[in-house]
Amino acid sequence: MLESSKDSAKLDAMKRIVGMIAKGKNASELFPAVVKNVASKNIEIKKLVYVYLMRYAEEQQDLALLSISTFQRALKDPNQLIRASALRVLSSIRVPIIVPIMMLAIKEASSDLSPYVRKNAAHAIQKLYSLDPEQKEMLIEVIEKLLKDRSTLVAGSVVMAFEEVCPDRIDLIHKNYRKLCNLLVDVEEWGQVVIIHMLTRYARTQFLSPWKVDEVVDEYCENNFYESDEEQKEKDQKLKTVYTMDPDHRLLLRNTKPLLQSRNAAVVMAVAQLYWHLAPKSEAGIVSKSLVRLLRSNREVQYIVLQNIATMSIQRKGMFEPYLKSFYVRSTDPTMIKTLKLEIMTNLANEANISTLLREFQTYVKSQDKQFAAATIQAIGRCATNITEVTDTCLNGLVCLLSNRDEIVVAESVVVIKKLLQTQPAHHGEIIKHMAKLLDNITVPVARASILWLIGEYCERVPKIAPDVLRKTAKSFTNEDDLVKLQILNLGAKLYLTNSKQTKLLTQYVLNLGKYDQSYDIRDRTRFIRQLIVPNEKSGALSKYAKKIFLAQKPAPLLESPFKDRDHFQLGTLSHTLNSRATGYLELSDWPEAAPDPSVRNVDVAESAKEWTGILGKQKKEKPTKKFYSESEEEEDESASNSSSGSGSDSESEKEDKEEGSTDESSGSSSPSEESTDSESDSKESAAKKTCRAVNESDSEDIKKKKAEGIFKKRSTSSSSDSEYTSSDECSSGSKSESDSKSDSESGKSENATSNKKEEKPVQDRKTPKNQDVFLLDLDDFCPVTTPVAVPTAAVLSPSLTADLEGLSLSSSSVIDVTMHVSVPTKTHELLHRMSGKGLAAHYHFSRQPGIFGDCMVPVQVTLTNTTDQKIENIHIGEKKLPPGMRMHEFNPIECLEPGGSITATVGIDFCDSTQTASFQLCTKDDHFNVNIQPPVGELLLPVTMSEKDFKKEQGMLTGMNETSTTIAVAPQNSTRLVIIERVVKAANLGVVPSGQDNIHRFAAKTVHSGSLMLVTVELKESSTAQLIINTEKTVIGSVLLRELKPVLSQG
Amino acid sequence: MRRRCGDRAGTGLSGQTAQACSRDEKMIHSLFLINCSGDIFLEKHWKSVVSQSVCDYFFEAQEKAIDVENVPPVISTPHHYLISIYRDKIFFVSVIQTEVPPLFVIEFLHRVADTFQDYFGECSETAIKDNVVIVYELLEEMLDNGFPLATESNILKELIKPPTILRSVVNSITGSSNVGDTLPTGQLSNIPWRRAGVKYTNNEAYFDVVEEIDAIIDKSGSTVFAEIQGVIDSCIKLSGMPDLSLSFMNPRLLDDVSFHPCIRFKRWESERVLSFIPPDGNFRLISYRVSSQNLVAIPVYVKHMISFKENTSSGRFDVTIGPKQNMGKTVEGVVMTVHMPKAVLNMNLTATQGSYTFDPVTKVLTWDVGKITPQKLPNLKGIVNLQSGAPKPEENPSLNIQFKIQQLAISGLKVNRLDMYGEKYKPFKGNCKKRVLRKDPKYQIFHDTQTQGANSRRTCLLLLRSV
């Protein structure tokens, strides 16, 4: 059939062959016939042939070579999927002769334009490596290259290859560490697991242990339990300053946290183990909730998760105590799950919850699942030893169980009681007597042996019963289990020593029986005991000590959790589950004594940026000590890491060029955007200066390129269709955002006048998600700007790019970047006084969190407080009276505000770069109040980071009427660098530009709406005066800002 | 493994390859599907072939475990590790050679089973055998070299079309294939879970809020433990690339949430809004747990009287179920299952409502009650026959009760609104269609008497039509 000329016949044949393979039958003799069809045009036949090839190529190497040329051809196919699948099959054919061909293919694919092909290249690396480990060095090079890749698609696979080929080459990770952390959320779930595990190992070698400090704090808390909270806080703070977590360490913890909410249990577990192994002990607790959630899923998942929880709960009880009830056993659970739950409950038991637990255990003991009931009894025993308060209760309970009808339960109880009695050598006479009575009924060997041992051990306390027991057991000796026989011998020996009058004969009888027993263990033991206890002429000195030997005080056994020793395995690993080292398990190293140089993770940037990173480093060190957990610090980190990783090295920027060139193919998608950008710049108000337009136009070209790139490379989770992309980029270029709604609607139908309002809302809303889009996009992008607020950057960036292109000096790839804000002015303004608001008070302040509502919006945080004694319901924004052009993004209506409660809502207002007042109505269910927000000019800016060089370049272009300056008197205490920076940044949302001169301070920002640059220079002169210069196109804002900044510096 | 080395040596290859043998690859090596009677009916190898004999270790463990539920998911053998799941009467046994997070494999295997379910409507041995070629193609796409490649059903469906009766007829006549002729764009788009070019004439979005109460109730009727778990299952049939955001009236109720990857974490964190570009078709949007554990009101109660008389080898059984406060909604689909003690031979009962069955082999009593009307409470009573001579069971069995209540979310979670951006057709709201709930809530059990219930509510939020 395979020879048939008809595709359908061939297909049918192939299907049958695949069916054979699936059943595990050998189909290898068909190889020649099948391989001919590898070039078939029919995709399905081709696929099935691939399946066949991968299965049998290894066995028929010579024939398999026939197919290679087909793949080589396919590797050059314009369709990325065909390239990818060719690479996949080629690398899956395990024929050593083609190693060089594979190597070549991998190398080529690793610089393929399609991330999908690159992903497959990463997979192929592992395959090639397992085929021929000699290629290691070359493969590492490829891995190194792929690690630099910014696509989320590639990241998971390449880290996998890294783990496979060269897990010890930790140095390859340094430069990519921050990037990986930032990409993590958007990587596909399987990749996340691999990356998290790798980063856990990495972090263990690179950061200092956060635990030591914790311990100090803990101790401290205990010592000073009664100290006032405030004092405590102060001291805690002091302690914290001693250890400062590396910002990169913090970055990792922060970026993995949202993954706890993944639907994929493996991801959640990976994050949990990361927190367990890396986070300060106080923070590790956040994972427990998510782990408990996993207990709702499949049996297999539960099993693994419970095992891990068991290990965790031994070391840190507190983590899971609040969830104790979630571990209650259900009667439908399989036994293995039940026992694990029981284990965890036992670990969690303490004085406070033991009574509840014991009650629960009582129910379990009655369970029909006897194996589980037995496990419960052991658990009770463990609780009894661990918590002395309940030992007696438990013991009594267990004794009651001795009268249980079920033998297994009784036997288990006996064993546990035996252990308990040993730990508590007082009052057991009664219990032992009771147990001796049981001996007649119990048949389980372990239990019988336990009873005999107990009687022997404490024979002096039950002098009457012991010989009788020996008599009975001597009768049944031959029918007993080996275990029991040994204990009978023991009992005999002990009695012989303590009460030889009554038992001498009996013991000898038993010893004789033992002598001829079938088991050599028993014969051995008999001989040994006889020599020891029966005095005869040959017996040596030892028999004198026989009593001491037999009746020595025995140490009580420790009842321990079987999970006790598992903690040396990394959680969540196979080795942990099996409690033995699995092949390929990589030990988690201990924390280093001293932190390795953190600067290795900084990505080298051309010299201009060097000092800039220096400053950042400085800031980092200062900040965390002050507000360790503050949002702003986190943001700063992010921007720091982003921008440093974002500013690619030379080789990258070359690559980037290449990419840019090649993306011209996709001009299809970029052309509409060009049109719209053009039309938009045409429609721009004539107020815009000509120069500005020139810049704008050149911008749009750059943007276009980047856009194309973006479209090609984006892998973000949230981005939408291409057209949307275009529009979001337009926004970023600072165009009026209305134009994007227009361009949308123009392409469709003309919009309804009535639906105007509706239309506007979605547009605004859409901004929010888009912001994230762009953030993600830019990470993938090769453009040197990467920051979470990349939206506005395009406009700022492009002039410098243009300049670069003019100068063709790639080495000085400049970095201009919107920075995240460090200081948020605490000043709040009153929006609505409680008197005029009938009890509803409202305040607002500018949160300076860029880009929440889109690029043009200034976010304003409104705090609403209810000062009445009644609920205020349905607070929302009513009618808006905005000056033309201004727009506002409302907050979601607040359902209800409790008396005395307050709530914070954020609105976004596009002030159109003017200080005009935004008036609107704040409505409640029954009332509405007119309120106004007037922005200080400093809040109409978004900070920008740029190098000094770029600053000067930009400044040079904004001279003449774009420059305003004034001389001010500077209060002496204000003349240090730090104070100036702090004051200026507080007054206006400006970004600090590193300065080479001590007496000149530079700040840069762009206006929120139009994105015009705003450059501020403070030049300190002698005799406490200073020159304040502002360069901007927006001269009005410039002069207002100048006026506002003056008092800031002159006041004391 | 050893065999492999041997083969190599046979073909005259050098020690270098022997080295390669010793070098193990990570992740999933092979997959065997085994049915309950222990036949391996499908095997798939992603790397070199592992002999079926490796499954012997699995069978050994299976024998030891007595009950299928108790087969340990991870088994260690001298050369491999076996990680298995049990789904729909099939064991999925994967062969691993080196250290790997076990959950990774387990999660993946479940994803495979889900995909089969999705493709063939059921994940059964027959379905898999009938579609062996598709199964093979799927497995090929899902895993490359043991590492997951494409697991999103939207993408897979584009690569490999699911079988339909019509298509298989057409295929057999025309010889055309069920592999996609056009290559998917999804892998290459930025949204791996949504295929491009979706088009519907009726644009619809459904959200099912299904909540389950999981409660343990003791003999006297007091609640030992209760919690509410919920999921929102969605069926989205919208054209293009809609960007949806769903907000709740009371999002703070949700204590712990897990998301489909399409949901943007950041918006949830900052605004408690679910913002996402949905996959096409059915999927689980979120699952959550409700924090207010103490306030769970169980909507049914059970009166029970089960007793065994000493030495008479018989006992009495009398159970009545009644509704508690349930906001005027009817409790329906009530099913009670009881695992009777082993000594029970059979049961002679009369039910005032519904029908009951007792399986003398598994000793499971099932009573299908149906709807509860408060006027006439369903009751089941009669005689239990015990094995003669067997000791009286010392403990009363636990009762598991499941039920559902339509249109009621027991936690009080309310959806506020759904907005759609990014597409031009206009949503219009309010047209609520009711669909029958597909999913049965899970049961609950307890000690002596346990109630377990699940309540469910279905909300159909939105019906969109293209303009």
Higher pLDDT, A492 or A731: A492
Question: Would you state the pLDDT for residue B67?
Answer: 76
A376 Cβ contact partners less than 8 Å away, ≥ 6 residues apart: A342, A361, A364, A365, A367
Which residue of A lies nearest to B251 if distances are taken between CA atoms? A895
Question: Would you state the pLDDT for residue B92?
Answer: 92
Which residues of B fall within a CB distance of 8 Å from A569?
none
* Chain pair A-B, CB pairs under 8 angstroms: 318
Closest C-alpha among A71, A130, A599 to residue B17: A130
pLDDT band at A539 (very low <50, low <70, confident <90, very high): low
Higher pLDDT, A834 or A378: A378
Mutate one of A92, A300, A331, A573 to test the B interface: name it (highest B CB count within 10 A): A300
Q: How far is B412 from chain A (nearest CA, A)?
A: 15
How far apart are the C-alpha atoms of A801 and A788, rounded to whole Å? Answer: 20
Q: How far is A271 from chain B (nearest CA, A)?
A: 12
Which residues of B fall within a CB distance of 8 Å from A258?
265-266, 269
Average pLDDT (A555-571) is 71
Question: Would you state the pLDDT for residue A397?
Answer: 82
The per-residue pLDDT for range A454-473, each reduced to its tens digit, is: 888 777 777 777 888 888 88
Whether the predicted pLDDT of A987 surpasses 70: yes
H helices within A349-481, ranges in order? 354-365, 370-386, 391-401, 407-423, 429-438, 445-457, 465-476
Question: Would you state the pLDDT for residue B21?
Answer: 37
Question: Would you state the pLDDT for residue A717?
Answer: 36
Whether the predicted pLDDT of A821 surpasses 50: no
Q: How far is B282 from chain A (nearest CA, A)?
A: 16
Q: How far is B346 from chain A (nearest CA, A)?
A: 18
Question: Would you state the pLDDT for residue B391?
Answer: 67
Whether the predicted pLDDT of B86 surpasses 60: yes
For residue B341, the 8-state DSSP code is: -
Of B19, B147, B181, the CB nearest to A123: B147
Which residue of B lies nearest to A763 if distances are taken between CA atoms? B421
**DSSP H or E stretch at residue A146:** helix A136-147
Higher pLDDT, A916 or A122: A122
Mutate one of A15, A588, A669, A720 to test the B interface: name it (highest B CB count within 10 A): A720
pLDDT band at A226 (very low <50, low <70, confident <90, very high): very low
Mutate one of A325, A718, A747, A849 to test the B interface: name it (highest B CB count within 10 A): A718
Higher pLDDT, A769 or A98: A98
Closest C-alpha among A935, A930, A932, A934 to residue A836: A930
Question: Would you state the pLDDT for residue A908?
Answer: 80
Q: How far is B209 from chain A (nearest CA, A)?
A: 17
Question: Would you state the pLDDT for residue A556?
Answer: 66
Contact A43 B41 (CB under 8 A): no
How far apart are the C-alpha atoms of A452 and A459, rounded to whole Å? Answer: 10
Closest C-alpha among B90, B79, B76, B75 to residue B37: B90
The per-residue pLDDT for range A308-352, each reduced to its tens digit, is: 898 888 888 888 888 888 888 877 778 888 888 988 988 888 888
Mean pLDDT score of chain A: 71
Whether the predicted pLDDT of B264 surpasses 60: yes
Which residues of A fall within a CB distance of 8 Å from B135?
22
Contact A81 B52 (CB under 8 A): no
Question: Would you state the pLDDT for residue B109?
Answer: 92
Whether the predicted pLDDT of A797 surpasses 50: no
Percent of chain A at pLDDT > 90 equals 1
CB of A726 closer than 8 Å to CB of A673? yes
Whether the predicted pLDDT of A704 surpasses 70: no
Question: Would you state the pLDDT for residue A719?
Answer: 39
CA gyration radius, chain A: 38
* ipTM summary value: 0.82
Helix or strand or coil: residue A315?
helix
Higher pLDDT, B103 or B183: B103
How far apart are the C-alpha atoms of A904 and A143, rounded to whole Å? Answer: 48
Residue type at position A125: I
The per-residue pLDDT for range B296-320, each reduced to its tens digit, is: 677 778 888 888 776 677 788 888 8
Which residues of A fall within a CB distance of 8 Å from B69?
299, 334-335
Q: List beta partners, residue B368.
A: B335, B355
Of B99, B103, B245, the CB nearest to A585: B99
Contact B99 A573 (CB under 8 A): yes
Q: Which of A95-104, A405-414, A716-725, A788-797 tops mean pLDDT?
A: A95-104
At residue A569, φ and ψ (nearest 5 deg) are -95, 145
The DSSP line for A902-925 is EEEEEEEEE-TTS---EEEEEE-S
Question: Would you state the pLDDT for residue B435?
Answer: 32
Of B74, B270, B395, the CB nearest to A578: B74
pLDDT band at A854 (very low <50, low <70, confident <90, very high): low
Whether the predicted pLDDT of A870 surpasses 50: yes
Q: How far is B197 from chain A (nearest CA, A)?
A: 10
Average pLDDT (A7-30) is 82
Of A160, A299, A573, the CB nearest to B147: A160
Question: Would you state the pLDDT for residue B110?
Answer: 92
A75 Cβ contact partners less than 8 Å away, ≥ 6 residues apart: A83, A86, A87, A90, A105, A108, A109
Which residues of B fall within a CB distance of 8 Å from A123?
144-145, 147, 149
Average pLDDT (A274-290) is 85
Question: Would you state the pLDDT for residue A643?
Answer: 41
Contact B419 A762 (CB under 8 A): yes
Whether the predicted pLDDT of A674 surpasses 50: no
Q: How many residues does chain A have?
A: 1052
The per-residue pLDDT for range A395-450, each reduced to its tens digit, is: 888 877 777 767 777 778 888 887 777 776 666 677 777 777 777 777 778 888 88
A60 Cβ contact partners less than 8 Å away, ≥ 6 residues apart: A28, A31
The per-residue pLDDT for range B138-167, each reduced to its tens digit, is: 888 888 877 888 788 777 777 777 776 555
At residue A651, φ and ψ (nearest 5 deg) are -60, -35
Q: How far is B376 from chain A (nearest CA, A)?
A: 30
How far apart are the C-alpha atoms of B268 and B261, rounded to whole Å? Answer: 13
Whether the predicted pLDDT of A692 surpasses 70: no
Q: How far is A87 from chain B (nearest CA, A)?
A: 11
Residue type at position A149: D
Q: In terms of C-beta density within 10 A (0-12 exposed, 13-18 middle, 19 or more buried), how is residue A316 classed?
A: middle
Contact A574 B96 (CB under 8 A): yes
Question: Would you state the pLDDT for residue A697?
Answer: 45
Contact A304 B106 (CB under 8 A): yes
Whether the predicted pLDDT of A656 surpasses 60: no
Mutate one of B25, B104, B340 to test the A interface: name it (highest A CB count within 10 A): B104
Which residues of A fall within a CB distance of 8 Å from B177?
11, 42-45
Q: List beta partners, residue B325.
A: none
Q: Which of A842-856, B81-95, B243-257 tops mean pLDDT?
A: B81-95
pLDDT band at A753 (very low <50, low <70, confident <90, very high): very low
A586-595, B316-325, B426-435: which range is least confident on average?
B426-435
Contact B258 A185 (CB under 8 A): no
Which residue of A lies nearest to B283 if distances are taken between CA atoms? A263
The per-residue pLDDT for range A343-400, each reduced to its tens digit, is: 898 888 888 888 888 888 887 887 777 788 888 888 888 888 888 778 888 888 887 7
> ∠ CA(A164), CA(A169), CA(A171), 5° rounding?
140
Residue type at position A209: S
Question: Would you state the pLDDT for residue B37?
Answer: 84
Higher pLDDT, A613 or A974: A974
Q: In terms of C-beta density within 10 A (0-12 exposed, 13-18 middle, 19 or more buried), how is residue A615 classed?
A: middle
Which residue of B lies nearest to A585 if distances are taken between CA atoms? B99
Of B27, B103, B241, the CB nearest to A572: B103
Contact B445 A261 (CB under 8 A): no
Q: Token digits for A698?
A: 């050149």
A512 Cβ contact partners less than 8 Å away, ≥ 6 residues apart: none
Q: Token digits for A594?
A: 């001293």
B165 Cβ contact partners less than 8 Å away, ≥ 6 residues apart: none
A948-957, B305-314, B329-338: which range is least confident on average?
B305-314
Which residues of B fall within a CB distance of 8 Å from A274?
none
Whether the predicted pLDDT of A819 surpasses 80: no
Question: Would you state the pLDDT for residue B401?
Answer: 80
A535-549, A865-879, B121-135: which range is least confident on average?
A535-549
Contact A116 B229 (CB under 8 A): no
Q: How far is A300 from chain B (nearest CA, A)?
A: 6
pTM of the model: 0.64
Q: How far is B172 from chain A (nearest CA, A)?
A: 8
Of A7, A584, A719, the CB nearest to B99: A584
Q: How far is A963 from chain B (nearest CA, A)?
A: 40
CB atoms within 10 A of CB B168: 13
Which residues of B fall within a CB distance of 8 Å from A716?
190
Closest C-alpha among B349, B445, B343, B450 to residue B394: B343
For residue A164, the 8-state DSSP code is: H
Higher pLDDT, A562 or A356: A356
Helix or strand or coil: residue A195?
helix
Whether the predicted pLDDT of A741 surpasses 60: no
pLDDT band at A263 (very low <50, low <70, confident <90, very high): confident
